[in-house]
Structure 1
Amino acid sequence: MRVLVTGATGQLGRDTAERFAASGHEVVAAGRRELDVAHRDQVLGIVGSVSPDVVVNCAAFTAVDACEAEVDRAYQVNALAVRHVAEAARRFGAHLCHVSTDYVFAGDKGGPYHEWDQPDPQSVYGATKLAGEQEAGEEATVVRTSWLCGRHGSNMVTTVLRLASEDGSMRFVDDQRGSPSFTADVAAVIERLCTDRRPGLYHVTNQGEASWYEFARDIMAAAGHDPDRVAPITTADLQPPRAAARPANSVLENRALALAGLDRPPDYRAPLSRLVADLLG
Protein backbone atom coordinates (compact mmCIF):
# COMPACT_ATOMS: atom_id res chain seq x y z
CA MET A 1 0.00 0.00 0.00
CA ARG A 2 0.91 3.64 -0.24
CA VAL A 3 0.53 5.16 3.22
CA LEU A 4 0.45 8.83 4.21
CA VAL A 5 1.29 9.45 7.87
CA THR A 6 0.50 12.90 9.26
CA GLY A 7 2.16 14.13 12.44
CA ALA A 8 5.09 11.99 11.37
CA THR A 9 7.65 13.79 13.54
CA GLY A 10 5.85 12.81 16.75
CA GLN A 11 6.77 9.68 18.65
CA LEU A 12 3.80 7.60 17.44
CA GLY A 13 3.93 9.08 13.94
CA ARG A 14 7.59 8.17 13.53
CA ASP A 15 7.14 4.60 14.75
CA THR A 16 4.01 4.17 12.63
CA ALA A 17 5.85 5.32 9.50
CA GLU A 18 8.76 3.02 10.32
CA ARG A 19 6.43 0.08 10.91
CA PHE A 20 4.69 0.42 7.55
CA ALA A 21 8.01 0.90 5.76
CA ALA A 22 9.51 -2.17 7.43
CA SER A 23 6.57 -4.20 6.14
CA GLY A 24 7.29 -3.14 2.57
CA HIS A 25 4.68 -0.43 2.14
CA GLU A 26 5.44 2.86 0.40
CA VAL A 27 5.34 5.55 3.08
CA VAL A 28 5.02 9.31 2.82
CA ALA A 29 5.83 10.72 6.26
CA ALA A 30 4.56 14.29 6.66
CA GLY A 31 5.39 16.38 9.70
CA ARG A 32 3.84 19.75 10.36
CA ARG A 33 6.45 21.45 8.15
CA GLU A 34 5.27 19.40 5.16
CA LEU A 35 1.58 19.32 6.06
CA ASP A 36 -0.32 21.51 8.52
CA VAL A 37 -3.56 19.57 8.84
CA ALA A 38 -5.37 22.68 10.10
CA HIS A 39 -5.27 24.08 6.55
CA ARG A 40 -7.87 22.44 4.32
CA ASP A 41 -6.26 23.39 1.02
CA GLN A 42 -2.94 21.88 2.10
CA VAL A 43 -4.62 18.67 3.17
CA LEU A 44 -6.57 18.31 -0.07
CA GLY A 45 -3.52 19.18 -2.14
CA ILE A 46 -1.14 16.71 -0.52
CA VAL A 47 -3.60 13.85 -0.25
CA GLY A 48 -4.53 14.43 -3.88
CA SER A 49 -0.91 14.44 -5.03
CA VAL A 50 0.18 11.45 -2.93
CA SER A 51 -2.97 9.42 -3.72
CA PRO A 52 -2.53 7.12 -0.72
CA ASP A 53 -4.42 3.91 -0.02
CA VAL A 54 -4.34 4.73 3.70
CA VAL A 55 -4.00 7.94 5.70
CA VAL A 56 -2.92 7.58 9.33
CA ASN A 57 -3.61 10.83 11.17
CA CYS A 58 -1.20 11.14 14.11
CA ALA A 59 -1.22 14.96 14.02
CA ALA A 60 -2.61 16.61 17.16
CA PHE A 61 -2.23 19.46 19.63
CA THR A 62 -1.25 17.34 22.63
CA ALA A 63 -0.13 20.00 25.14
CA VAL A 64 -2.95 19.16 27.55
CA ASP A 65 -2.61 22.19 29.82
CA ALA A 66 -2.01 24.62 26.95
CA CYS A 67 -5.28 23.50 25.38
CA GLU A 68 -7.14 25.05 28.34
CA ALA A 69 -5.84 28.48 27.32
CA GLU A 70 -5.69 27.96 23.55
CA VAL A 71 -9.19 26.60 23.03
CA ASP A 72 -9.59 27.73 19.43
CA ARG A 73 -6.26 26.22 18.41
CA ALA A 74 -7.17 22.97 20.17
CA TYR A 75 -10.45 22.69 18.25
CA GLN A 76 -8.78 23.71 15.01
CA VAL A 77 -6.05 21.05 15.20
CA ASN A 78 -7.80 18.23 17.07
CA ALA A 79 -11.29 18.54 15.57
CA LEU A 80 -11.66 20.69 12.46
CA ALA A 81 -8.41 19.37 10.98
CA VAL A 82 -9.78 15.83 11.23
CA ARG A 83 -12.75 17.02 9.15
CA HIS A 84 -10.27 18.13 6.48
CA VAL A 85 -8.35 14.84 6.55
CA ALA A 86 -11.56 12.80 6.44
CA GLU A 87 -12.86 14.86 3.50
CA ALA A 88 -9.62 14.32 1.60
CA ALA A 89 -9.61 10.59 2.35
CA ARG A 90 -13.16 10.24 1.02
CA ARG A 91 -12.46 12.36 -2.06
CA PHE A 92 -9.39 10.38 -3.09
CA GLY A 93 -10.49 6.92 -1.98
CA ALA A 94 -8.17 6.41 1.00
CA HIS A 95 -8.95 4.60 4.24
CA LEU A 96 -8.54 6.87 7.26
CA CYS A 97 -7.07 5.81 10.59
CA HIS A 98 -7.30 8.50 13.26
CA VAL A 99 -5.53 8.41 16.63
CA SER A 100 -7.37 9.49 19.79
CA THR A 101 -6.89 9.41 23.55
CA ASP A 102 -7.97 8.14 26.96
CA TYR A 103 -8.79 11.76 27.91
CA VAL A 104 -12.23 11.37 26.30
CA PHE A 105 -13.32 9.69 29.56
CA ALA A 106 -14.14 11.33 32.89
CA GLY A 107 -12.02 8.85 34.82
CA ASP A 108 -14.58 7.98 37.49
CA LYS A 109 -15.39 4.41 36.40
CA GLY A 110 -14.53 1.64 38.84
CA GLY A 111 -12.80 -0.50 36.19
CA PRO A 112 -11.24 -0.27 32.74
CA TYR A 113 -13.05 1.64 30.00
CA HIS A 114 -14.09 -0.29 26.88
CA GLU A 115 -15.08 1.00 23.48
CA TRP A 116 -18.81 1.10 24.24
CA ASP A 117 -18.50 3.16 27.43
CA GLN A 118 -19.89 6.67 27.22
CA PRO A 119 -17.21 9.39 26.85
CA ASP A 120 -17.36 12.35 29.20
CA PRO A 121 -14.23 14.50 28.74
CA GLN A 122 -13.28 16.83 31.59
CA SER A 123 -10.70 18.94 29.75
CA VAL A 124 -10.51 20.99 26.55
CA TYR A 125 -7.99 18.50 25.20
CA GLY A 126 -10.35 15.57 25.84
CA ALA A 127 -13.33 17.43 24.38
CA THR A 128 -11.46 18.33 21.19
CA LYS A 129 -10.14 14.81 20.73
CA LEU A 130 -13.66 13.42 21.12
CA ALA A 131 -14.83 15.92 18.50
CA GLY A 132 -12.05 14.64 16.24
CA GLU A 133 -13.32 11.07 16.62
CA GLN A 134 -16.74 12.25 15.49
CA GLU A 135 -15.27 14.11 12.52
CA ALA A 136 -13.37 11.00 11.34
CA GLY A 137 -16.64 9.37 10.27
CA GLU A 138 -18.15 5.90 10.48
CA GLU A 139 -15.90 4.32 7.86
CA ALA A 140 -12.68 5.39 9.57
CA THR A 141 -10.61 3.39 12.01
CA VAL A 142 -10.33 5.28 15.30
CA VAL A 143 -7.56 4.12 17.66
CA ARG A 144 -7.67 5.31 21.25
CA THR A 145 -4.42 4.89 23.12
CA SER A 146 -2.83 6.25 26.31
CA TRP A 147 0.36 7.04 28.21
CA LEU A 148 2.51 6.69 25.09
CA CYS A 149 6.25 6.07 25.33
CA GLY A 150 8.77 5.39 22.61
CA ARG A 151 12.28 5.96 21.32
CA HIS A 152 11.50 9.37 19.84
CA GLY A 153 10.62 12.53 21.71
CA SER A 154 9.89 13.24 25.36
CA ASN A 155 7.76 10.89 27.43
CA MET A 156 7.50 9.34 30.88
CA VAL A 157 10.36 6.90 30.32
CA THR A 158 12.81 9.53 29.06
CA THR A 159 11.77 11.88 31.87
CA VAL A 160 12.37 9.32 34.63
CA LEU A 161 15.71 8.26 33.12
CA ARG A 162 16.81 11.90 33.01
CA LEU A 163 15.78 12.47 36.63
CA ALA A 164 17.47 9.23 37.68
CA SER A 165 20.80 10.61 36.46
CA GLU A 166 20.44 13.54 38.86
CA ASP A 167 20.63 13.63 42.64
CA GLY A 168 17.61 13.53 44.90
CA SER A 169 14.24 11.86 45.07
CA MET A 170 11.39 11.96 42.58
CA ARG A 171 7.70 12.45 43.24
CA PHE A 172 4.92 11.10 41.03
CA VAL A 173 1.19 10.97 41.57
CA ASP A 174 -0.35 7.77 42.86
CA ASP A 175 -4.02 8.68 42.32
CA GLN A 176 -4.07 8.55 38.50
CA ARG A 177 -4.13 5.10 36.89
CA GLY A 178 -3.69 4.27 33.23
CA SER A 179 -2.37 1.88 30.62
CA PRO A 180 1.31 2.50 29.79
CA SER A 181 1.62 1.97 26.05
CA PHE A 182 4.57 1.72 23.69
CA THR A 183 4.56 3.28 20.26
CA ALA A 184 6.10 0.31 18.48
CA ASP A 185 3.35 -2.00 19.76
CA VAL A 186 0.56 0.48 18.99
CA ALA A 187 1.98 1.03 15.49
CA ALA A 188 1.89 -2.72 14.83
CA VAL A 189 -1.84 -2.84 15.60
CA ILE A 190 -2.46 0.28 13.51
CA GLU A 191 -0.80 -1.46 10.57
CA ARG A 192 -3.02 -4.53 10.99
CA LEU A 193 -6.22 -2.48 11.27
CA CYS A 194 -5.31 -0.41 8.21
CA THR A 195 -4.30 -3.43 6.14
CA ASP A 196 -7.71 -4.94 6.89
CA ARG A 197 -9.40 -1.53 6.43
CA ARG A 198 -11.42 -2.20 9.57
CA PRO A 199 -13.82 0.63 10.43
CA GLY A 200 -14.82 1.54 13.96
CA LEU A 201 -13.33 2.28 17.33
CA TYR A 202 -10.51 0.29 18.93
CA HIS A 203 -8.71 0.74 22.22
CA VAL A 204 -5.05 -0.08 21.60
CA THR A 205 -2.82 -0.12 24.66
CA ASN A 206 -0.33 -2.44 26.21
CA GLN A 207 -1.89 -4.73 28.77
CA GLY A 208 -1.57 -4.09 32.50
CA GLU A 209 -2.16 -0.92 34.48
CA ALA A 210 -0.27 1.30 36.89
CA SER A 211 -0.31 4.66 38.58
CA TRP A 212 2.29 7.20 37.48
CA TYR A 213 4.11 6.45 40.76
CA GLU A 214 4.12 2.70 40.09
CA PHE A 215 5.17 3.22 36.49
CA ALA A 216 8.07 5.42 37.58
CA ARG A 217 9.22 2.68 39.96
CA ASP A 218 9.03 0.15 37.14
CA ILE A 219 11.18 2.39 34.95
CA MET A 220 13.74 2.83 37.70
CA ALA A 221 13.92 -0.92 38.27
CA ALA A 222 14.27 -1.62 34.55
CA ALA A 223 17.21 0.81 34.43
CA GLY A 224 18.92 -0.76 37.44
CA HIS A 225 18.19 2.16 39.77
CA ASP A 226 16.66 2.10 43.23
CA PRO A 227 12.85 2.34 42.88
CA ASP A 228 12.63 3.68 46.43
CA ARG A 229 13.93 7.01 45.16
CA VAL A 230 10.40 7.52 43.85
CA ALA A 231 7.88 8.89 46.34
CA PRO A 232 4.07 9.00 45.93
CA ILE A 233 2.06 12.22 46.03
CA THR A 234 -1.53 13.13 45.20
CA THR A 235 -2.66 15.18 42.23
CA ALA A 236 -3.73 17.90 44.67
CA ASP A 237 -0.12 18.13 45.89
CA LEU A 238 1.30 19.02 42.47
CA GLN A 239 3.01 22.39 42.36
CA PRO A 240 2.18 24.30 40.34
CA PRO A 241 -1.34 22.85 39.95
CA ARG A 242 -2.15 21.57 36.48
CA ALA A 243 -4.55 23.65 34.39
CA ALA A 244 -6.35 20.65 32.86
CA ALA A 245 -8.16 17.92 34.76
CA ARG A 246 -6.61 14.45 34.42
CA PRO A 247 -8.74 11.30 34.48
CA ALA A 248 -8.17 9.50 37.81
CA ASN A 249 -8.78 6.24 35.96
CA SER A 250 -8.01 6.03 32.25
CA VAL A 251 -7.23 2.32 31.97
CA LEU A 252 -8.42 1.17 28.54
CA GLU A 253 -9.67 -2.36 27.97
CA ASN A 254 -8.92 -3.59 24.45
CA ARG A 255 -12.32 -5.27 24.17
CA ALA A 256 -12.94 -4.68 20.45
CA LEU A 257 -9.57 -6.21 19.51
CA ALA A 258 -10.26 -9.25 21.71
CA LEU A 259 -13.79 -9.76 20.37
CA ALA A 260 -12.50 -9.45 16.79
CA GLY A 261 -9.90 -12.16 17.45
CA LEU A 262 -7.01 -9.76 16.94
CA ASP A 263 -3.81 -9.80 18.97
CA ARG A 264 -3.61 -7.21 21.72
CA PRO A 265 -0.29 -5.55 22.61
CA PRO A 266 1.60 -7.47 25.31
CA ASP A 267 1.95 -6.55 28.98
CA TYR A 268 3.74 -3.22 29.26
CA ARG A 269 6.66 -4.48 31.36
CA ALA A 270 8.42 -6.40 28.55
CA PRO A 271 8.47 -3.51 26.04
CA LEU A 272 9.44 -1.19 28.88
CA SER A 273 12.56 -3.24 29.53
CA ARG A 274 13.44 -3.21 25.82
CA LEU A 275 12.91 0.54 25.52
CA VAL A 276 15.02 1.32 28.58
CA ALA A 277 17.82 -0.90 27.27
CA ASP A 278 17.57 0.83 23.88
CA LEU A 279 17.65 4.34 25.38
CA LEU A 280 20.55 3.53 27.70
CA GLY A 281 22.50 1.56 25.09
Structure 2
Amino acid sequence: MTVKLMVTGANGQVGTSLQQRAERLGWQVLAVDRNELDITDRAAVLQASTQFQPNVIINAAAHTAVDKAETELEASYAINRDGPQYLAEAASACNALLLHISTDYVFAGDKAGIYLETDPVAPQGVYGASKLAGELAVAQHCAKHLILRTAWVFGEHGNNFVKTMLRVGSMRASLNVVADQFGGPTYAGDIADALLTMAAQALKPEFSAWGVYHFSGAPHVSWHGFAEAIFSKAAELTLLDKVPTVNAISTSEYPTPARRPANSRLDCHKIQQVFGIEPSNWQRALANLQQYLPQ
Protein backbone atom coordinates (compact mmCIF):
# COMPACT_ATOMS: atom_id res chain seq x y z
CA MET A 1 0.00 0.00 0.00
CA THR A 2 1.31 3.42 -0.95
CA VAL A 3 1.08 5.75 2.02
CA LYS A 4 -0.51 9.09 1.16
CA LEU A 5 0.56 11.63 3.74
CA MET A 6 -0.80 15.13 4.18
CA VAL A 7 1.44 17.38 6.30
CA THR A 8 0.34 20.77 7.60
CA GLY A 9 2.82 23.36 8.87
CA ALA A 10 5.20 22.07 6.20
CA ASN A 11 7.69 24.94 6.50
CA GLY A 12 8.14 24.64 10.27
CA GLN A 13 10.89 22.86 12.19
CA VAL A 14 9.13 19.48 12.26
CA GLY A 15 7.12 19.94 9.06
CA THR A 16 10.22 20.39 6.90
CA SER A 17 11.83 17.28 8.39
CA LEU A 18 8.61 15.30 7.94
CA GLN A 19 8.40 16.16 4.27
CA GLN A 20 12.01 15.21 3.57
CA ARG A 21 11.90 11.94 5.50
CA ALA A 22 8.50 10.79 4.20
CA GLU A 23 9.61 11.34 0.61
CA ARG A 24 12.75 9.28 1.27
CA LEU A 25 10.46 6.47 2.46
CA GLY A 26 8.69 6.62 -0.89
CA TRP A 27 5.46 8.00 0.57
CA GLN A 28 3.26 10.24 -1.53
CA VAL A 29 3.33 13.58 0.27
CA LEU A 30 1.09 16.64 0.15
CA ALA A 31 2.97 19.20 2.24
CA VAL A 32 1.14 22.48 2.85
CA ASP A 33 2.04 25.60 4.79
CA ARG A 34 -0.38 28.30 5.91
CA ASN A 35 -0.18 30.07 2.53
CA GLU A 36 -1.35 26.91 0.76
CA LEU A 37 -3.85 25.74 3.38
CA ASP A 38 -5.33 27.76 6.20
CA ILE A 39 -6.21 25.07 8.75
CA THR A 40 -8.60 27.51 10.46
CA ASP A 41 -10.78 27.37 7.32
CA ARG A 42 -12.96 24.29 7.76
CA ALA A 43 -14.15 24.20 4.14
CA ALA A 44 -10.60 24.53 2.79
CA VAL A 45 -9.34 21.71 5.03
CA LEU A 46 -12.15 19.40 3.93
CA GLN A 47 -11.60 20.26 0.27
CA ALA A 48 -7.84 19.60 0.44
CA SER A 49 -8.29 16.23 2.15
CA THR A 50 -11.14 15.20 -0.17
CA GLN A 51 -9.02 15.95 -3.23
CA PHE A 52 -5.86 14.24 -1.97
CA GLN A 53 -7.51 11.38 -0.05
CA PRO A 54 -4.69 10.81 2.46
CA ASN A 55 -4.53 7.76 4.68
CA VAL A 56 -2.35 9.72 7.14
CA ILE A 57 -2.60 13.37 8.21
CA ILE A 58 0.12 14.87 10.41
CA ASN A 59 -0.59 18.27 11.91
CA ALA A 60 2.68 20.13 12.43
CA ALA A 61 1.00 23.56 12.28
CA ALA A 62 0.72 25.57 15.48
CA HIS A 63 0.68 29.05 16.98
CA THR A 64 3.85 28.62 19.05
CA ALA A 65 4.62 32.23 20.05
CA VAL A 66 4.21 31.59 23.78
CA ASP A 67 4.42 35.22 24.94
CA LYS A 68 2.42 36.68 22.03
CA ALA A 69 -0.31 34.12 22.72
CA GLU A 70 -1.16 35.97 25.93
CA THR A 71 -2.50 38.86 23.82
CA GLU A 72 -3.21 36.98 20.56
CA LEU A 73 -5.84 34.79 22.17
CA GLU A 74 -8.09 34.54 19.13
CA ALA A 75 -5.27 33.47 16.80
CA SER A 76 -3.97 30.94 19.32
CA TYR A 77 -7.30 29.19 19.67
CA ALA A 78 -8.06 29.36 15.95
CA ILE A 79 -4.76 27.66 15.04
CA ASN A 80 -4.24 25.42 18.09
CA ARG A 81 -7.84 24.29 18.73
CA ASP A 82 -10.08 24.93 15.71
CA GLY A 83 -7.52 23.87 13.08
CA PRO A 84 -6.88 20.50 14.72
CA GLN A 85 -10.65 19.96 15.02
CA TYR A 86 -11.14 20.57 11.30
CA LEU A 87 -8.25 18.25 10.46
CA ALA A 88 -9.75 15.61 12.76
CA GLU A 89 -13.11 15.95 11.01
CA ALA A 90 -11.39 15.69 7.62
CA ALA A 91 -9.42 12.62 8.73
CA SER A 92 -12.62 10.93 9.88
CA ALA A 93 -14.35 11.80 6.61
CA CYS A 94 -11.67 10.10 4.49
CA ASN A 95 -10.89 7.32 7.02
CA ALA A 96 -7.36 8.60 7.59
CA LEU A 97 -5.47 8.50 10.84
CA LEU A 98 -4.44 11.81 12.40
CA LEU A 99 -1.17 12.47 14.20
CA HIS A 100 -1.11 15.75 16.11
CA ILE A 101 1.83 17.46 17.83
CA SER A 102 1.21 18.88 21.30
CA THR A 103 3.33 20.26 24.10
CA ASP A 104 4.63 20.03 27.66
CA TYR A 105 2.83 23.35 28.29
CA VAL A 106 -0.42 21.44 28.92
CA PHE A 107 1.03 20.73 32.38
CA ALA A 108 1.52 23.15 35.26
CA GLY A 109 5.23 22.34 35.37
CA ASP A 110 5.31 22.09 39.15
CA LYS A 111 5.44 18.31 39.58
CA ALA A 112 8.43 16.95 41.49
CA GLY A 113 8.89 13.99 39.14
CA ILE A 114 8.67 13.30 35.41
CA TYR A 115 5.32 13.84 33.69
CA LEU A 116 3.33 10.79 32.58
CA GLU A 117 0.67 10.88 29.87
CA THR A 118 -1.93 10.20 32.57
CA ASP A 119 -0.92 13.09 34.86
CA PRO A 120 -3.49 15.87 35.40
CA VAL A 121 -3.23 18.72 32.91
CA ALA A 122 -3.19 22.33 34.14
CA PRO A 123 -1.91 24.79 31.53
CA GLN A 124 -0.61 28.06 32.97
CA GLY A 125 -1.07 30.30 29.93
CA VAL A 126 -2.95 30.80 26.68
CA TYR A 127 -0.51 28.76 24.59
CA GLY A 128 -0.82 25.69 26.81
CA ALA A 129 -4.58 26.10 27.20
CA SER A 130 -5.12 26.41 23.44
CA LYS A 131 -2.91 23.36 22.76
CA LEU A 132 -4.84 21.34 25.34
CA ALA A 133 -8.09 22.40 23.67
CA GLY A 134 -6.60 21.10 20.42
CA GLU A 135 -5.81 17.74 21.99
CA LEU A 136 -9.40 17.41 23.22
CA ALA A 137 -10.80 18.41 19.81
CA VAL A 138 -8.65 15.81 18.03
CA ALA A 139 -9.70 13.06 20.44
CA GLN A 140 -13.36 14.01 20.13
CA HIS A 141 -13.54 14.23 16.33
CA CYS A 142 -11.22 11.46 15.12
CA ALA A 143 -11.19 8.00 16.67
CA LYS A 144 -7.93 7.05 14.93
CA HIS A 145 -5.70 9.67 16.52
CA LEU A 146 -2.21 9.82 18.00
CA ILE A 147 -1.23 12.90 20.00
CA LEU A 148 2.50 13.46 20.50
CA ARG A 149 3.48 15.80 23.32
CA THR A 150 7.01 17.09 22.99
CA ALA A 151 9.20 19.87 24.41
CA TRP A 152 12.15 22.19 23.73
CA VAL A 153 12.15 21.57 19.97
CA PHE A 154 15.21 22.53 17.93
CA GLY A 155 16.39 21.85 14.41
CA GLU A 156 18.10 23.25 11.34
CA HIS A 157 14.89 24.88 10.07
CA GLY A 158 13.02 27.78 11.67
CA ASN A 159 13.81 29.65 14.87
CA ASN A 160 14.85 27.90 18.06
CA PHE A 161 17.03 28.09 21.17
CA VAL A 162 20.12 26.61 19.50
CA LYS A 163 20.12 29.23 16.74
CA THR A 164 19.48 32.01 19.25
CA MET A 165 22.42 30.90 21.40
CA LEU A 166 24.79 30.75 18.42
CA ARG A 167 23.66 34.18 17.20
CA VAL A 168 23.83 35.88 20.59
CA GLY A 169 26.99 34.01 21.54
CA SER A 170 28.78 35.34 18.47
CA MET A 171 28.07 38.92 19.57
CA ARG A 172 28.57 38.82 23.36
CA ALA A 173 31.34 37.85 25.76
CA SER A 174 28.78 36.64 28.30
CA LEU A 175 25.06 35.93 28.51
CA ASN A 176 22.50 34.97 31.13
CA VAL A 177 20.46 31.78 30.78
CA VAL A 178 17.76 30.41 33.08
CA ALA A 179 19.01 27.50 35.20
CA ASP A 180 15.87 26.52 37.17
CA GLN A 181 13.72 25.20 34.30
CA PHE A 182 14.34 21.58 33.32
CA GLY A 183 13.35 19.54 30.30
CA GLY A 184 14.50 17.37 27.42
CA PRO A 185 15.71 19.21 24.29
CA THR A 186 14.14 17.44 21.31
CA TYR A 187 15.58 17.34 17.80
CA ALA A 188 12.95 18.09 15.14
CA GLY A 189 14.30 15.34 12.89
CA ASP A 190 13.78 12.81 15.67
CA ILE A 191 10.19 14.04 16.15
CA ALA A 192 9.59 13.54 12.42
CA ASP A 193 11.06 10.04 12.54
CA ALA A 194 8.94 9.19 15.59
CA LEU A 195 5.76 10.40 13.89
CA LEU A 196 6.47 8.44 10.70
CA THR A 197 7.26 5.28 12.70
CA MET A 198 4.00 5.69 14.63
CA ALA A 199 2.03 6.27 11.43
CA ALA A 200 3.47 3.20 9.72
CA GLN A 201 2.58 0.97 12.68
CA ALA A 202 -0.84 2.57 13.18
CA LEU A 203 -1.77 1.82 9.55
CA LYS A 204 -1.72 -1.91 10.32
CA PRO A 205 -5.28 -3.28 10.64
CA GLU A 206 -4.64 -4.77 14.08
CA PHE A 207 -3.41 -1.49 15.62
CA SER A 208 -5.55 -0.13 18.45
CA ALA A 209 -3.21 1.82 20.78
CA TRP A 210 -4.64 5.25 19.97
CA GLY A 211 -4.20 8.18 22.34
CA VAL A 212 -1.55 10.42 23.88
CA TYR A 213 2.21 9.77 23.86
CA HIS A 214 5.22 11.67 25.18
CA PHE A 215 8.40 12.08 23.15
CA SER A 216 11.30 14.32 24.09
CA GLY A 217 15.04 14.35 24.55
CA ALA A 218 17.42 12.76 27.03
CA PRO A 219 19.24 13.39 29.23
CA HIS A 220 17.15 16.03 30.98
CA VAL A 221 18.90 19.35 31.44
CA SER A 222 18.30 23.00 32.34
CA TRP A 223 18.27 25.73 29.71
CA HIS A 224 21.61 26.83 31.18
CA GLY A 225 23.01 23.31 30.82
CA PHE A 226 21.71 23.08 27.26
CA ALA A 227 23.34 26.41 26.39
CA GLU A 228 26.67 25.24 27.81
CA ALA A 229 26.44 22.03 25.75
CA ILE A 230 25.73 24.07 22.59
CA PHE A 231 28.76 26.29 23.18
CA SER A 232 30.95 23.31 24.06
CA LYS A 233 30.08 21.72 20.71
CA ALA A 234 30.54 25.08 18.93
CA ALA A 235 34.03 25.33 20.43
CA GLU A 236 34.83 21.75 19.41
CA LEU A 237 33.76 22.51 15.82
CA THR A 238 35.45 25.96 15.90
CA LEU A 239 32.20 27.65 14.87
CA LEU A 240 32.68 30.69 17.13
CA ASP A 241 35.80 32.85 17.44
CA LYS A 242 35.33 32.96 21.20
CA VAL A 243 32.88 31.01 23.35
CA PRO A 244 30.91 33.28 25.73
CA THR A 245 30.58 32.82 29.47
CA VAL A 246 27.12 31.47 30.34
CA ASN A 247 25.80 32.85 33.63
CA ALA A 248 23.12 30.88 35.46
CA ILE A 249 20.08 32.95 36.47
CA SER A 250 16.67 32.19 37.95
CA THR A 251 13.32 32.43 36.21
CA SER A 252 12.44 35.40 38.42
CA GLU A 253 15.47 37.25 37.02
CA TYR A 254 14.17 36.81 33.47
CA PRO A 255 10.47 37.77 33.55
CA THR A 256 8.33 36.96 30.48
CA PRO A 257 4.65 37.71 29.68
CA ALA A 258 3.81 33.99 29.76
CA ARG A 259 4.82 31.69 32.59
CA ARG A 260 7.22 28.90 31.61
CA PRO A 261 6.99 25.43 33.18
CA ALA A 262 9.77 24.84 35.73
CA ASN A 263 9.50 21.13 34.96
CA SER A 264 9.08 20.10 31.31
CA ARG A 265 10.46 16.58 31.81
CA LEU A 266 8.30 14.06 29.96
CA ASP A 267 8.26 10.34 30.66
CA CYS A 268 8.82 8.48 27.35
CA HIS A 269 8.35 4.87 28.46
CA LYS A 270 4.94 4.46 26.81
CA ILE A 271 6.17 5.32 23.31
CA GLN A 272 9.11 2.96 23.83
CA GLN A 273 6.82 0.11 24.88
CA VAL A 274 4.20 0.55 22.15
CA PHE A 275 6.30 1.69 19.19
CA GLY A 276 9.89 0.87 20.14
CA ILE A 277 10.86 4.54 19.87
CA GLU A 278 13.77 5.75 22.00
CA PRO A 279 13.98 9.31 23.40
CA SER A 280 15.62 11.93 21.18
CA ASN A 281 19.40 12.02 21.60
CA TRP A 282 19.89 15.78 21.60
CA GLN A 283 23.63 15.56 22.24
CA ARG A 284 24.10 13.51 19.08
CA ALA A 285 21.87 15.93 17.17
CA LEU A 286 24.23 18.81 18.01
CA ALA A 287 26.96 17.13 15.94
CA ASN A 288 25.75 18.99 12.83
CA LEU A 289 25.77 22.35 14.61
CA GLN A 290 27.32 24.14 11.64
CA GLN A 291 23.98 23.75 9.84
CA TYR A 292 22.38 26.04 12.46
CA LEU A 293 24.55 29.01 11.51
CA PRO A 294 23.13 31.65 9.11
CA GLN A 295 23.87 30.64 5.52
Q: TM-score, normalised by structure 2?
A: 0.90
Correspondence for 1:214: 225
Correspondence for 1:89: 91
Q: Secondary structure at the match of 1:111?
A: coil
Q: 1:227 Cα deviation (Å)?
A: 6.0
Decide whether the 8 Å contact of 2:215 with 2:280 is kept in 1. Answer: no
Equivalent residues in 2 for 1:258-273 (5 A)? Answer: 258-260=272-274, 262-273=276-287
Task: Show CA shifts across 1:122-158 (max 9, x none).
Answer: 0110011011111112420100111000110111111
CA distance in 2, matches of 1:2, 1:261: 21
Correspondence for 1:150: 155
Q: 1:164 Cα deviation (Å)?
A: 1.9
Decide whether the 8 Å contact of 1:206 with 1:264 is kept in 2. Answer: no
CA distance in 2, matches of 1:170, 1:119: 33
Task: Show CA shifts across 1:217-246 (max 9, x none).
Answer: 0000011066661111111112xx311111
Matched, 1:203 2:231: no
Letter of the 2:170 counterpart = S
Q: 1:48 Cα deviation (Å)?
A: 0.7
Picking from 98, 121, 134, the partner of 1:132 is: 134
Q: Secondary structure at the match of 1:260?
A: helix
Correspondence for 1:111: 113
CA distance in 1, matches of 2:172, 2:112: 37
Gaps spanning 5+ residues in structure 1: where?
Answer: none
Correspondence for 1:237: 253
Matched, 1:185 2:185: no
Letter of the 2:251 counterpart = T
Single out whichever of 23-32 and 195-204 deviates more from structure 2: 195-204
Decide whether the 8 Å contact of 1:65 with 1:242 is kept in 2. Answer: yes
Q: 1:71 Cα deviation (Å)?
A: 1.2
Correspondence for 1:73: 75
Q: 1:29 Cα deviation (Å)?
A: 0.6
CA distance in 1, matches of 2:181, 2:261: 7
CA distance in 2, matches of 1:17, 1:143: 17
Equivalent residues in 2 for 1:245-260 (5 A)? Answer: 245-260=259-274
Identity %: 38
Between the two proteins, the alignment pairs up a number of residues equal to 278
Correspondence for 2:205: none
Q: 1:117 Cα deviation (Å)?
A: 1.1
Q: Secondary structure at the match of 2:217?
A: coil
CA distance in 1, matches of 2:181, 2:144: 33
Q: TM-score, normalised by structure 1?
A: 0.95
Decide whether the 8 Å contact of 2:155 with 2:292 is kept in 1. Answer: no
Picking from 5, 8, 24, the partner of 1:6 is: 8
Q: 1:73 Cα deviation (Å)?
A: 1.6
CA distance in 1, matches of 2:152, 2:49: 30
Task: Show CA shifts across 1:31-78 (max 9, x none).
Answer: 000001011011001011111110000111111111111112211110
Decide whether the 8 Å contact of 1:102 with 1:250 is kept in 2. Answer: yes
Letter of the 2:9 counterpart = G
Q: 1:266 Cα deviation (Å)?
A: 4.1
Letter of the 2:213 counterpart = Y
